[in-house]
């Protein structure tokens, strides 16, 4: 399969933490994961916060121009952030960087920016990058009221592009909120896309501590899911 494309139901859904935790789980299991954040906005120092967390999770250091080939200062949608700096995001640049990393690392973990249809250029969205990479898609959703709708719409769109909706991880949320408590059960009733895990809201900690804790909480579920996914070839 080559790896995973991690998308979110929205910006700040928790993709980076989940991606870093999965990279750590794979590394601890003896695999050699590579990580990539093809485009990031709101970045002051390359390769940016998200890419640094992913590399910390995988315990690797990739060249900045490979791990995050497009990075922009403005905290805007990628196409607007690029336009503000007089640049354009080219699919070939992201795919070329991916190919160079994938030649040395397996599996590859690619974290998208924003949600599934975050625009990068006219007519080219985050979904199209996942399609070009031909990777199964893991959905990270902020666990709150409304997330079931967002997850189901994302699954439908992934499958409409003939990609594998590989699984869902719910992230965070107030444990006293009835929607947060019932979202996992509701999702399992409403879709056959696997619910890989539920990551509770974590306390404020340093990067390494946060990644380690998230990996610990998700490890057993992720490893079992990953084995199943590899066994069936990532079929949708």
Catalytic residues: 37
Place of tokens 């409304």: 146
3 state SS of 176: coil
Angstrom distances, CA of residue 117 to CA of 9, 89, 113, 128, 194 = 9, 15, 9, 8, 21
**Can you tell me the distance from the alpha carbon of 186 to that of 205, in angstroms, rounded to the nearest whole number?**
31
Listed in sequence order, the residues at least 6 apart from 98 whose beta carbon sits closer than 8 Å to its beta carbon are 36, 38, 108, 110, 133
Burial of 179 (0-12, 13-18, 19+ CB in 10 A): middle
């Amino acid at each position: 399969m080559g790896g995973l494309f991690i998308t979110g139901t929205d910006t700040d859904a928790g993709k980076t933490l989940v991606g870093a935790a999965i990279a750590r789980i794979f590394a601890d299991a003896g695999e050699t994961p590579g990580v990539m954040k093809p485009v990031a906005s709101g970045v002051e120092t390359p390769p940016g916060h998200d890419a640094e967390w992913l590399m910390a999770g995988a315990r690797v250091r990739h060249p900045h121009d490979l791990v995050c080939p497009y990075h922009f200062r403005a905290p805007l949608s990628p196409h607007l952030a690029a336009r503000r700096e007089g640049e354009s995001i080219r699919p070939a640049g992201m795919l070329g960087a991916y190919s160079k990393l994938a030649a040395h690392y397996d599996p590859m973990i690619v974290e998208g920016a924003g949600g599934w249809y975050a625009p990068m250029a006219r007519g080219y969205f985050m979904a199209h990058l996942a399609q070009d990479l031909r990777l199964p898609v893991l959905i990270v959703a902020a666990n709150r009221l409304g997330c079931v709708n967002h997850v189901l719409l994302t699954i439908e769109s992934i499958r409409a592009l003939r990609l594998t909706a590989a699984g869902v991880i719910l992230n965070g949320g107030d444990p006293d909120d009835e929607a947060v408590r019932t979202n996992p059960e509701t999702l399992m009733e409403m879709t056959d896309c696997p619910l890989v895990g539920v990551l509770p809201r974590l306390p404020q900690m340093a990067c390494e501590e946060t990644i380690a804790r998230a990996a610990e909480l998700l490890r057993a579920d992720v490893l079992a899911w990953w084995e199943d996914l590899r066994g069936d070839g990532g079929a949708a």
